[in-house]
Amino acid sequence: MIKDITIGQYIPGDSFIHKLDPRFKILISILFIIDLFLVNNFEGYLYVFIFILATILIAKLSLKYIYSGLKPILILLLITAVLNIFMTGGNGSLPLIQWHFIKIYKEGLIIAAFMIIRLVFLIMGTSILTLTTSPIELTDGIESLLNPFKKIGLPAHELAMMMTIALRFIPTLMDETDKIMKAQMARGADFESGNLISRAKSLIPILVPLFISSFRRADELAMAMESRCYKGGEGRTRMKQLKVTKRDYIASCSFILLFVITIVSRT
């Protein structure tokens, strides 16, 4: 399941989505998240699903790969659904199911469905951003968007670099965790049996070497950047300049159309 985490990974390609300006992709992703929280009916989520599916197909991403990225959050989805189903009242309506003190209302089922759909689409949308945007493009895009804040002393380049490095370290740490778990299991460690507390205690032999490995990788990265005379964003030039093209306007207009449709469909 650890290898199924897709956030932070990048798949090279030459599709329409890959060639979009990273600034537009970041802004669209932010507005996409806002749109998810504005939708309040299943019709709106249907339009969002069509948009996501079309984006995946245009980007030539594997649907199986996108689905595998949802596996790590299945437990979170289950907990979210259970909490909303059993903790949401009926606002005066009669319960659909009642057994002793357990009451399930229609409103609870609807809210649980909304929360599950929202989380699934949120993971899928953010995954598309990282899967189709290289680390360098992502850094340049974030830095370009933060440049106006330099006037108030915000270190735009440094923040963009830190955010990108943190994001790109996720797959590396997941791969390292998988290797450590396999090494511990080869030595007789058991991570699946026992109650919740015993399982949590069994993770300690994984966390200690994982932290040590993370600090070692961070130190090696710092030495590599220093040996290449990296001194931050001041005076830095770029081999590829960010340029807005016709395809960026097409993608923006397509998303604006989705945003308007979902707002109009609100009840």
The Cα–Cα gap between 56 and 191 comes to 35
Report, as ranges of residue numbers, the positions in the chain whose pLDDT lies below 50.
1
DSSP the chain: -GGG--TT------STTTTS-HHHHHHHHHHHHHHHHH--SHHHHHHHHHHHHHHHHHTT--HHHHHHTTGGGHHHHHHHHHHHHHH---TTPPPSEEETTEEE-HHHHHHHHHHHHHHHHHHHHHHHHHHTS-HHHHHHHHHHHHGGGGGGT--HHHHHHHHHHHHHHHHHHHHHHHHHHHHHHHTT--SSSS-HHHHHHHTHHHHHHHHHHHHHHHHHHHHHHHHTT---STT---SS-----HHHHHHHHHHHHHHHHHHHT--
Q: Give CA 158 to chain center in angstroms.
A: 22
The Cα–Cα gap between 105 and 85 comes to 7
Residue among 20, 3, 140, 124 at smallest CA distance from 66: 124
What are the boundaries of each domain within the chain? 2-169+242-264
pLDDT for residue 47: 93
Task: Find all residues with CB under 8 Å of 151, minimum gap 6, and list them.
Answer: none
The Cα–Cα gap between 141 and 19 comes to 13
Encode 54-64: b = buried (16+ Cβ within 10 Å), e = exposed: ebbeebebeee
Residue 49: what are its φ and ψ, rounded to 5°?
-60, -40
pLDDT for residue 52: 93
pLDDT for residue 33: 92
Task: Find all residues with CB under 8 Å of 114, minimum gap 6, and list them.
Answer: 40, 45
Q: Answer positive or negative: Cα dihedral of 36, 128, 164, 180.
A: positive
Each residue's pLDDT tens digit, 150-191: 778 777 777 777 777 777 777 777 778 878 888 877 877 776
Structure tokens, 231: 């001194």
pTM: 0.74
Residue 80: what are its φ and ψ, rounded to 5°?
-60, -45
Check: CB of residue 71 under 8 Å from CB of residue 1: yes
- Please count the other Cβ atoms lying within 10 Å of the Cβ belonging to residue 70: 16
Residue among 119, 36, 115, 111 at smallest CA distance from 72: 119
Q: Which amino acid is at 77?
A: L
pLDDT for residue 215: 84
